Structure 1
Amino acid sequence: MIPTIYDIAKVANVSKSTVSRVLNNQRNISEEARNRVLKAIEKLNYHPNKLARALSSGFDAIMVISRSTKTTSDNPFFSEILHSISRKAEEEDFDVILQTAKNTQDELTKCVSKIREKMIKGIIMLTSPADETFFKQLDMFNIPVVVVGKVEGNYNNIFSVDTNNYQDSYDLTKYLIEKGHREIACMHSPLDYHVSIDRLNGYLDCMEENGLELRKEFIVDSGYTVEKAYESAKKLLLTASHRPTAVFATDDLKVMSIYRVCTEEKIEMPNELSIVGYSNSSYSPFLLPALTRIEIPVKKLGDAGTELLFNKIKQNNTSSHKTFIPTSKIIQDSVIKI
């Protein structure tokens, strides 16, 4: 016969509510009583019914919100960080629910539905929209939300884990300028997320502060997909009135598109074109010339975000609302001094 919490209470000589508090990791219980309950659980070989427990206290699950699959399918960042989050959730014995949505309203509706049905105890968002209306609406439900990205507003239940995208972009652009480059292009993503805005602004401010011309045809919105990035790279390098001497690429897709076009068109790198960029993938070591880049610490972002979320789920209130993870600038062979 399968043991119940009543059996545990009897063996441990405690109340049913005490057993329930131990099973739900609540703190309002003496250590002596907790130990008696744990020994009774071990003696009876008790395995809690997860569904039955969820009906009263909610499922042990977190939800991961990603962008639409149309914008993430070719981007290695999302698969890498999902692996990091899933591994940490598994250690905490939590399930992971992955959610994508067609638009912000659809996303909010799905979130609210899962919160009200007690299906989740916390949320991790893998992107940070520039329009923070979503955060304001979600904040009122009193459930912890960790955003891997920038959060500008002040909220009670919204927390941020991020890198300094603005400064990193400024520093990469500055490095090109220090190497003598003056005609520097930027291939960036659409400006509907904080990360895209900050990376572009780092480039723009560095160029302006160093008295360099910002040529409209050198500032290219290169989309989210392989196809769009490739088309943008071809347009920049083959059809502009003249070619820049260097390109700053704001993510892996833009970097790969530049390398591909240069290979196809026999544009010698770095002698004819220098490049710097961001990278968070396993492809970087295979690029020739080796890429000068900001290495995004994807695992650290995932680990820090998930650890912060579980701290909040356990009502550990020692963490700050904003956490910054340091990055590394790796100087290699993709830039020539002119």
Structure 2
Amino acid sequence: MGHTIYDIARVANVSKSTVSRVLNNQTNISNEARERVMKAIEQLNYQPSKLARALSSGFDAVMVVSRSAKTTANNPFFADILQTIAEKAEEENFDVILQTSKNSDDELEKCITKIRGKMIKGIIMLSSPVNEDFFKQLDLFNIPIVVIGKVEGTYQNIYSVDTDNFKDSYNLTKYLIAQGHQDIACLHSPLEYHVSIDRIEGFKACMNDYRLPLRKEWIINGGYNVEAGDLAAKQLFSTEHRPTAVFATDDLKVMSVYKAASDFNIIIPNDLSIVGYSNTTQTSFLTPALTSIEIPVRKLGKAGASILFSKIKENKELTARTIIETKEIIRNSVLKRE
């Protein structure tokens, strides 16, 4: 059995509280007492346990807050960005706690419990809900929180790392219009998160700027998973008048359109053009190759983790919002209409 701080106190002839102050590098202690304690530590070859340190100063851990598993199933974005964050945490000798929740109330309660229990020193959120009451309440606890996504409010301890989803969606739609398309549909995600709203608003703004019609039956909520995306794509292709092009707001919607097109014997791009977002390597296997905005998932994860550890370890002054540049890639999924 290893030695304890009681053994150090006995050998150094000081109180247990003095030993504790030395171990926690506090200054309210005489040089003589500190020297005796350090000699006792060396003599006993004392190794403080991680748990013991954590009870006084908190665990060296960060928490990654993901959405409910029901909304992330088969979505590789979350696995890829979590891997990037875990790699950075390992470099910093921090543990990672992954949290999912049933709803926002459950999520808030779990976060507060871990903060009060000194289980975490920072939080990374993998999505940004439109309702920012969650941020307002967590901001009061004075620990750094990095959100991978847009944050509209102004806070003391919350930092945003995002791409410009509105601009990217506007530009993808503009590209379709430049290729002669006017009948353009949009498959989007539920409008509970800033990313979903910004992407569909970018699409709508571009259509309005070019005075093109926004047909309600062509703007369809494709849900969070493959099954919902497939149903949305089939609904789109079952309409009497089909669009000539589709803007899909994420990987899952893109793959759903490709699958449904095959089921309906629709040839891409001859019968239907498509543009979308590419977050993962999965879309690289699509034929024809997708014209897309490539989301730099690893850059988002690295930037978010770097900001968090800068605040935890050095408490650096940082800008509240960081925008990561994206890349528009023109491939073969769009047919130019004469």
Normalised by the length of structure 2, the TM-score is 0.89
**CA root-mean-square deviation:** 2.5
Match of 2:160 in 1: 160
Residues in 2 aligned to 1:214 and 1:318: alpha-carbon distance in whole angstroms:
44
Identity of aligned pairs, percent? Answer: 62
Match of 2:300 in 1: 301
Match of 2:124 in 1: 124
Give the deviation of 1:119 after TM superposition.
Answer: 0.6
- Which residue type is aligned with residue 258 of structure 1? V
**Does structure 1 retain, via aligned residues, the 8 Å contact 2:67–2:100?**
yes
Residues in 2 aligned to 1:108 and 1:176: alpha-carbon distance in whole angstroms:
41
Q: How many residues align?
A: 321
**Does structure 1 retain, via aligned residues, the 8 Å contact 2:255–2:283?**
no
CA deviations on 1:68-98 (whole Å, 9 max, x unpaired) are 0000011110000010011111111111111
What secondary structure sits across from 2:24 in the alignment? helix
Counting only pairs closer than 5 Å after superposition, residues 14-163 of structure 1 correspond to structure 2 as 17=21, 19-21=23-25, 47-163=47-163
Counting only pairs closer than 5 Å after superposition, residues 168-187 of structure 1 correspond to structure 2 as 168-187=168-187
Unmatched runs of 5 consecutive residues or more in structure 1: 28-36
Residues in 2 aligned to 1:45 and 1:71: alpha-carbon distance in whole angstroms:
50
Give the deviation of 1:48 after TM superposition.
Answer: 3.6
Residues in 1 aligned to 2:202 and 2:293: alpha-carbon distance in whole angstroms:
13
Unmatched runs of 5 consecutive residues or more in structure 2: 13-17, 28-36
Match of 2:335 in 1: 336
Residues in 2 aligned to 1:42 and 1:320: alpha-carbon distance in whole angstroms:
44
CA deviations on 1:6-43 (whole Å, 9 max, x unpaired) are 97x98xxxx8545533xxxx99xxxxxxxxx99x9999
- Which residue type is aligned with residue 194 of structure 2? H
What secondary structure sits across from 1:314 in the alignment? helix
Match of 2:250 in 1: 251
Residues in 2 aligned to 1:222 and 1:108: alpha-carbon distance in whole angstroms:
27
Match of 2:262 in 1: 263
Match of 2:191 in 1: 191
Question: Would you identify which runs of 4 or more consecutive aligned residues in structure 1 move more than 6 Å?
Answer: 3-7, 40-46
Residues in 2 aligned to 1:280 and 1:220: alpha-carbon distance in whole angstroms:
21
Residue 272 of structure 1 pairs with residue 271 of structure 2: yes
CA deviations on 1:155-184 (whole Å, 9 max, x unpaired) are 001110000000000000000000000000
What secondary structure sits across from 2:322 in the alignment? strand
Match of 1:320 in 2: 319
CA deviations on 1:261-304 (whole Å, 9 max, x unpaired) are 11222211101000000011111221100000011111010011
Residues in 2 aligned to 1:68 and 1:167: alpha-carbon distance in whole angstroms:
28
